[in-house]
Chain A
Amino acid sequence: MKYAFFPGCSLESTAWDLDKSARAVCKALEIELIDIPGWSCCGSTPAHVSNASLATALPAMNLQKAADMGMPITTVCASCYGRLRVANQKINDSDEERERVGRIIGKPYDGKVEVHHLLDVIVNKLGSEAVADKVERKLSGMKVACYYGCLLSRPPEAVAFDNPEHPSVMEKLVAMTGAEAIEWPYKTECCGASLSISNSDVVGRLSHRLLSMVRRAGAECVVVACPLCQVNLDLRQADATAAHGKLPETPILYFTQLLGLALGLPEEELGLEALMVSAAPLLSMV
């Protein structure tokens, strides 16, 4: 399997551990990732709330490069994934939009490059049998809450590879590792996403609400597939519990880190030391 890899800006800073663990896991699973040469920012939320033309053109620059590579794209960031898919949808739905984007990026792009989140690639394209063969360490006894947040399953017409209100792809991935995915009601509730920096008080309230439900449902850690969800639940966890009530410390792992552990990859290759809330106490028990 070969994919054009779109890392996205977060993977060069706050989510370097996601970058490292995604590459390590793909190597172990024989998924070849080729970085899109000269990739640039997808524009994320700030572009689509500010300028509709820019919001489609920025992802299209990268989509067009992948078209030249002749490969489908995979990405690990829920926001990049959503912006790339929404741009494709807009370009496919309207000739006017396609022509406008062509004028802005200076090259024609037809909206036809496939975009998959790496979760989808591992669970649905590679499949559980292929992964099961490579699992070396069953994470038995670990109770995990799968958290999708908003952008992995919404808006459904553009992005969903799963049921938008009750997705289960991450639960399938957790099952591959031998850990137990608990049922909980807030898995597609928003963490405040891009309000993280400007309205951290709102994000603190939302993160606390999510974390207390995680604990009430009996999970000891959370698995995420989005750099913003990770920051809002991990980096802001101490502030959230200080402001809204004490909770046991809850490690927030990327799906690639959890899978990497099950594949027997060394912790250094998974960037576990980057977590603000350490996963060490939890891992010493499995």
Chain B
Amino acid sequence: MEETLTCKNTKLLSEVERRSGTKVSRCFQCHKCSTGCPVAPDMDYMSSQVMRLIILGQEEELLKSKAIWLCASCEACTTRCPMDIDITGVMDVLRMMAIERKVAEPDARSKEFNKAFLTSVRWHGRVFEAGMMAIYKLRSKDFFTDMDKVPKMLSKRKLALWPHFSRVAGEIRKVFKRAEEEEKKR
């Protein structure tokens, strides 16, 4: 018999609600969030569908989706939801779960960008763009995009070649460590 979607498996729903602090179960599928979402045309599941899949317990489908890596965190959905659901916060939690469970969509370039960005902050206390781009390019293997912009950016002094270290760079590394430990306790 074909598998039918039921709400029997509420494990995913409770985990997402606990970690995001928002009530996904209140969603009544009005689609207002998806209507205003700038990246809805690029997503495999629009935000309202993501909410529905959480309620239906479709963990694998969601954590492997492209949608969670295309969300630009613009907060339009959260601002407009008539049921006061923090959809942007839910997207954050789904991304973290996908990484923790090592099932994230392999082609998620924004995931590599986030990693490169945070590595740069961890080392310097501030973002060092040229260094961050090098890490991003190595991780994503996306070597050519934007290389044509480099000469122009250099001539406009928009790409610093040397990092600016924050005076508290050492302290920042400890903060990263402690934040990672605290996060595991949640």
- Residues in chain A within 8 A of chain B (CB atoms): 9-10, 12-14, 16, 37-41, 43-54, 57-58, 61, 100, 103-106, 149-151, 154-156, 164-165, 188-190, 192-195, 197-200, 202, 206, 235, 273-274, 276
Check A198–B126 contact: CB distance below 8 A.
Answer: no
Q: How far is the CA of A240 from the CA of B149 in the complex (A)?
A: 14
Report the minimal beta-carbon distance from A40 to chain B, rounded to whole angstroms. 4
Check A58–B158 contact: CB distance below 8 A.
Answer: no
Residue from B157, B164, B167, B175 having most chain A Cβ neighbours under 10 A? B175
Main secondary structure of the interface of B (DSSP, over half): helix
Report the minimal beta-carbon distance from A65 to chain B, rounded to whole angstroms. 9
Check A202–B75 contact: CB distance below 8 A.
Answer: no
A/B pair count, beta carbons within 8 Å: 174
| Contact A57 to B175, CB < 8 A, known contacts A46-B117, A195-B110 | yes
| Contact A51 to B183, CB < 8 A, known contacts A58-B175, A235-B149 | yes
B27 proximity list for chain A (CB < 8 A): none
Q: How far is the CA of A61 from the CA of B186 in the complex (A)?
A: 21
Q: How far is the CA of A128 from the CA of B62 in the complex (A)?
A: 50
- Of chain B, the residue at the smallest CB distance from A14 is B158
Indicate which residue in B70, B73, B125 contacts A48 across the interface (CB closer than 8 Å).
B73
Check A155–B78 contact: CB distance below 8 A.
Answer: yes
Within residues 138 to 183 of chain B, which ones have a CB less than 8 A from any CB in chain A? 140, 145-146, 149, 152-153, 156-160, 164, 166-169, 171-172, 174-176, 178-180, 182-183
Report the minimal beta-carbon distance from B66 to chain A, rounded to whole angstroms. 10
Check B182–A12 contact: CB distance below 8 A.
Answer: no
Check B157–A16 contact: CB distance below 8 A.
Answer: yes
Check B180–A61 contact: CB distance below 8 A.
Answer: no
Check A53–B160 contact: CB distance below 8 A.
Answer: no
The yes or no answer to B88 lying at the interface (CB within 8 A) is yes
Q: How far is the CA of A1 from the CA of B60 in the complex (A)?
A: 54
Indicate which residue in A13, A46, A103 contacts B160 across the interface (CB closer than 8 Å).
A13
| Besides A151-B74, A165-B79, 13 other A-B contacts (C-beta < 8 A) | A40-B121, A41-B121, A41-B126, A41-B127, A46-B114, A52-B186, A54-B180, A100-B182, A104-B175, A164-B79, A190-B38, A194-B72, A195-B70
| Contact A156 to B38, CB < 8 A, known contacts A45-B73, A50-B99, A200-B145 | no
Check A57–B179 contact: CB distance below 8 A.
Answer: yes
Residue from A58, A104, A274 having most chain B Cβ neighbours under 10 A? A104
A103 proximity list for chain B (CB < 8 A): 178, 182
Q: How far is the CA of A275 from the CA of B27 in the complex (A)?
A: 44
Check A48–B92 contact: CB distance below 8 A.
Answer: yes
- Of chain A, the residue at the smallest CB distance from B75 is A154
Report the minimal beta-carbon distance from A122 to chain B, rounded to whole angstroms. 24
Q: How far is the CA of A86 from the CA of B110 in the complex (A)?
A: 22
Check A40–B76 contact: CB distance below 8 A.
Answer: no
Check B160–A12 contact: CB distance below 8 A.
Answer: yes
Check A206–B38 contact: CB distance below 8 A.
Answer: yes
Indicate which residue in A38, A189, A198 contacts B110 across the interface (CB closer than 8 Å).
A198
Report the minimal beta-carbon distance from B153 to chain A, rounded to whole angstroms. 7
Q: How far is the CA of A39 from the CA of B125 in the complex (A)?
A: 8
